[in-house]
Amino acid sequence: MDEARLKKERLSLVAGGIMVMLAQLSISANCFSLFVIPICESLGFARGVFSWCQSFLSLGGVAGALVSGKIFSRYGIVKCMRIAGIMSTSIYLTQSFASSIPQFYVIYFLIGFCNVFCTSMPLSLLIGDRFTEKRNTVIGIVMMGSGFGTSLFNRLASSFILSFGWRGAIRVLGCIMAAVSLISYFVLIKETRAGSEPPKAANGAASAQTGPSEPFFKGKRIAIAFLCTMISIAAGTFMSTLTPHLQDIGFSQNFAASVYSAAMLTMAFGKIMHGAIIDKWGVRVSNSLMIITAMIGLVGSLTFKSAWYAVLSCIGMLFISSLAVVGAPALAEALGGQRNKKFFVGKLNAFINLGYCIGPFIYGAVYDRVGTYVPMYYVALGLLGISLAGVLILLPGKAESLAGK
């Protein structure tokens, strides 16, 4: 392939990836909190029970991630993205007709399952196939789209809810998601060189190579997987409770929303920084920095007394959401090599999503019992401290790999 065509395809992939993260992931998953109050008031649901939709979203992610490697290998990444993108958009729109808690649980489980096959995981694999240098930096650039999309569509969604009601807002957002993401799937994101699509046999069928060369659950990788769960429990606690915690300790809703918006922008740029750090120093350094900055953010929440402490919250958000979308692909390659990457990244994302699934039950129960998130922040700090020690001991350096170990 000539250099000009390769450059064009790389730019097309990056542009399409940013648009997918901007619309598909941001709308389907990250605008959820804005609909909690209007839906609960309209249908008479308890907020705590309805908020479990987030856990079902993560649970769907666990289920999808566990089988993603085999499905990608058998049917091809781009084809899976197109099918899952259509399904996710369609399922998202169906919630505008839902009227019971079980219906919402099923919808969010299916959205979480489909998003595994059409958002960050397949994009990271395609970028890994297409780019040979600074691939993790490129992954970070693409993934920052979700941060900007969350900031943009949270504001738009609020206006749509006021203008059209929550059912109408979902339909408008679903149409935007379909228009932006489907153009990306069918126009900008195309089949790339060998590695992104399964090799074909003589009869045109996919080859039989549908499994990893070695098992994931072996040696240090088992402990590392559980570290990912611990980190995501702590990360989910910090991200999900920042705004209500600031209001609980006396700050206005507008101030809390402003801090959260600033944190989201910090998070968007943090994904690029995280990718660049991985490229330069490897997964041990990048994950250590991610944990340390998250701990700084939690300390800020525990000691928040003035607007200046918002800086600590922004530092805490810098890399906190990067584990799944930027860190996991690089970690999968470090643990199993390029040959096993597409299989190992699914397993890692399953454990990460498991943490995000468990977290709401824990911090929700803590808040219901004591009326504050503070005890859970101490628990989260403990989990991060253990994780930091595990990362320093277990993760390989930049030039090392755990493949075969």
Give tens-digit pLDDT for 200-228.
Answer: 444 444 444 556 678 888 888 999 999 99
C-alpha count within 13 angstroms, C-beta hemisphere, residue 81: 32
Buried/exposed 365-379: b ≥16 CB within 10 Å, e otherwise: ebbeeeeebeebbeb
- Which CATH architecture fits 214-394? Up-down Bundle (1.20)
Contact 219, 229 (CB under 8 A): no
For the chain, domain boundaries: 1-192, 214-394
φ, ψ of residue 210 to 5 degrees: the values are: -120, 15
Longest dimension (CA), the chain: 68
Which pLDDT value is given to residue 109?
A: 95
| Confidence band, pLDDT 50/70/90 cuts, at residue 401 | low
Euclidean distance between CA atoms 227 and 72, whole angstroms: 26
| Confidence band, pLDDT 50/70/90 cuts, at residue 63 | very high
Kindly report whether the global pTM for this prediction surpasses the value 0.85: no
183: Cα separation from own chain's centroid: 22
Which position has the token pair 């993760």? 395
Euclidean distance between CA atoms 337 and 340, whole angstroms: 6
Which pLDDT value is given to residue 194?
A: 44
Q: Does domain 1-192 have CATH number 1.20.1250.20?
A: yes
Whether residue 175 is predicted with pLDDT greater than 90 in this model: the reply is yes
The residue that leads in pLDDT, 243 or 142, is: 142
Pure H helices in 303-373: 310-317, 322, 328-370
